């Protein structure tokens, strides 16, 4: 499996290589075209000059004069080209190398080519001139006219090897520069790729450490990270923090469940063993069996509460098909009636404040009934003898606010953020109420949040009040 570094390097190297090949090929073709066009243009100018010069000298038949040969030699040397003059039959009568000795004189051109040049008024070609040269050349041919009569043609040519040599020199320069660019690019890409993949390696190491149990493992965000790498590192750290918190909550949950199960199970086991081995006298067995029954029911309530929580968390929100349109006042009133005996036993003063008209909401009625039941149950439980119990419903904007309050000891400010946590109990409530598991308020918050609503608590001046919201659909 390739690493990110090797992938980045190979991709960049391939792109760079292809770019250089395309650039080099196109550059070479353009340079070759430019050199060819420049050479042919020069040959064309030389051919026209020589043709005009030959026409003027042929008037008096002095083509072989010393002056004309000198001019022809100068033009040939300046342009670095060969020039030959042929008569109307295609025989070479003069050559630019005549002064130094030339073996072209007396040779005859191909008649088809001769006629082509005369009929077309000239010709430009690249190749071998049969009968004159054996190497490949750039050739420009121009007819010579004396007045209106054709007296022959001028052929000016130069070897293509000159252009090839120039092109090779330019190609060598380009190749040298390309090699230098490639080397610099390789070094730059290597440094860049290593720097860019370093955060990924750091994340991989942090993930490995995290997977091996080091929940404190995090990725250090450096100043030189790219924006995407910084976002990825922050997302990883946030995920690690969330998983760490979840793991701590899981461990705490297991510890709390173990602690809460230990006491009733020990009680049940101890009393049953006492009955079986005769330690508990027969006349006291009914009393202790009742304690065993109560502890069993408490365990059953714990299991049922945990199942309710699991179901709510599984649903991740209350489905619309499980919601119904109902009156919050009626629901709260019916729940309050079920506590009539407990309220009377403690001689509580109940203050009910509700609108005179129905307050309708759209929610799961069973769940909302459980919320109100749990809150009133807590209020009655912690309200002192002869204290005040309050139930209030008010409307505000698009929300209905349900508040349940009671007199009693004020909850310490540091405890308020924790009252909705699983298995959280105030020390005084743990000692005074063995029926509680610390799950009631957690279930309440889970239900309310599953409806997309909020719940809050305030406790001051001897009064504690819980308030939750529901959508108002009047």
- Position 305 scores a pLDDT of 64
Q: Looking at the domain assignment, is residue 208 inside a domain?
A: no
User: Is residue 272 domain-shared with residue 361, that is, in the same domain?
Assistant: no
Region 9-25: mean pLDDT is: 82
User: Is residue 303 domain-shared with residue 325, that is, in the same domain?
Assistant: no
Q: What are phi and psi of 365, to 5 degrees?
A: -65, -40
- Predicted confidence band of residue 187 (pLDDT cuts 50, 70, 90): confident
What global pTM score does this model have? 0.46
Which residues form the domain of 351?
317-471
User: Is residue 288 domain-shared with residue 327, that is, in the same domain?
Assistant: no
| CATH code of 334's domain | 3.30.565.10
- Position 103 scores a pLDDT of 67
Count of domains for the chain: 3
Q: What is the Cα–Cα distance from 50 to 47, expressed in whole angstroms?
A: 5
User: Is residue 125 domain-shared with residue 258, that is, in the same domain?
Assistant: no
| CATH code of 248's domain | 1.10.287.130
User: Is residue 58 domain-shared with residue 146, that is, in the same domain?
Assistant: yes
The 8-class DSSP code of residue 279 comes to -
- Position 184 scores a pLDDT of 85
Q: Looking at the domain assignment, is residue 190 inside a domain?
A: no
- Position 406 scores a pLDDT of 93
Q: What is the mean pLDDT of the chain?
A: 81
Most confident of 52-56, 208-212, 279-283, 331-335: 331-335
Q: Last residue of a domain, which of 314, 330, 351? A: 314
Q: Looking at the domain assignment, is residue 237 inside a domain?
A: yes
List pLDDT tens digits, range 334-385.
Answer: 889 888 888 999 999 999 999 999 999 999 888 898 889 889 988 998 899 9
By CB neighbour count within 10 A (0-12 exposed, 13-18 middle, 19+ buried), where does 376 fall? buried
User: Is residue 454 domain-shared with residue 409, that is, in the same domain?
Assistant: yes
3-state SS assignment for residue 257: helix
Q: Last residue of a domain, which of 314, 336, 356? A: 314
List pLDDT tens digits, range 394-433.
Answer: 998 899 999 999 998 888 888 888 788 766 655 444 334 4
Question: How distant is the alpha carbon of residue 448 from its chain centre?
Answer: 36
| CATH code of 18's domain | 3.30.450.20
3-state SS assignment for residue 143: strand
């Amino acid at each position: 499996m390739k690493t990110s570094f090797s992938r980045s390097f190979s991709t960049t190297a391939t792109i760079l290589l292809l770019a250089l090949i395309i650039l080099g090929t196109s550059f070479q073709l353009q340079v070759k075209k430019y050199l060819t066009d420049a050479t042919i243009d020069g040959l064309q100018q030389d051919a026209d000059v020589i043709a005009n010069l030959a026409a003027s000298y042929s008037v008096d038949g002095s083509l072989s004069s010393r002056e004309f040969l000198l001019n022809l030699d100068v033009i040939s040397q300046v342009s670095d080209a060969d020039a030959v003059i042929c008569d109307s039959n295609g025989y070479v009568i003069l050559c630019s190398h005549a002064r130094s000795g030339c073996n072209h004189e007396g040779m005859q051109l191909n008649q088809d080519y001769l006629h082509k040049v005369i009929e077309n008024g000239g010709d430009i070609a690249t190749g071998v001139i049969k009968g004159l040269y054996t190497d490949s050349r750039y050739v420009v041919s121009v007819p010579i006219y004396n007045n209106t009569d054709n007296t022959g043609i001028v052929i000016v040519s130069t070897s293509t090897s000159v252009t090839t040599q120039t092109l090779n020199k330019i190609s060598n320069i380009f190749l040298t520069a390309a090699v230098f660019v490639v080397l610099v690019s390789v070094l730059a890409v290597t440094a860049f790729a290593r720097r860019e993949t370093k955060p990924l390696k750091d994340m991989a190491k942090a993930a490995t450490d995290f997977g091996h149990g080091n929940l404190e493992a995090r990725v250090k965000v450096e100043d030189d990270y790219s924006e995407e790498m910084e976002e990825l590192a922050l997302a990883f750290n946030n995920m690690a923090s969330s998983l760490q918190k979840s793991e701590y909550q899981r461990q705490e949950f297991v510890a709390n469940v173990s602690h809460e199960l230990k006491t009733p199970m020990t009680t049940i086991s101890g009393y049953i063993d006492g009955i079986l081995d005769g330690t508990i006298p027969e006349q006291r067995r009914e009393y202790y069996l009742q304690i065993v029954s109560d502890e069993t029911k408490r365990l059953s309530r714990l299991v049922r509460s945990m199942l309710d929580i699991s179901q709510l968390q599984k649903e991740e929100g209350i489905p619309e098909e499980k919601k119904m349109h109902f009156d919050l006042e009626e629901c709260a009133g019916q729940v309050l009636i079920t506590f009539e005996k407990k309220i009377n036993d403690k001689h509580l003063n109940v203050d009910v404040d509700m609108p005179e008209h129905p307050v309708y909401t759209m929610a799961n009625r069973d769940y909302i009934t459980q919320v109100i039941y749990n809150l009133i149950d807590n209020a009655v439980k912690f309200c002192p003898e002869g204290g005040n119990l309050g139930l209030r419903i008010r409307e505000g904007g698009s929300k209905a606010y349900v508040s349940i309050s009671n007199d009693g000891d004020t909850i310490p400010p540091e405890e308020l953020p924790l009252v909705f946590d699983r298995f959280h109990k105030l020390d005084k409530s743990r000692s005074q109420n063995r029926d509680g598991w610390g799950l009631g308020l957690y279930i309440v918050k889970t239900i309310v949040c599953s409806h997309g609503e909020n719940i809050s608590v305030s406790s001051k001046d001897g009064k504690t009040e819980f308030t939750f919201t529901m959508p108002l659909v009047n």
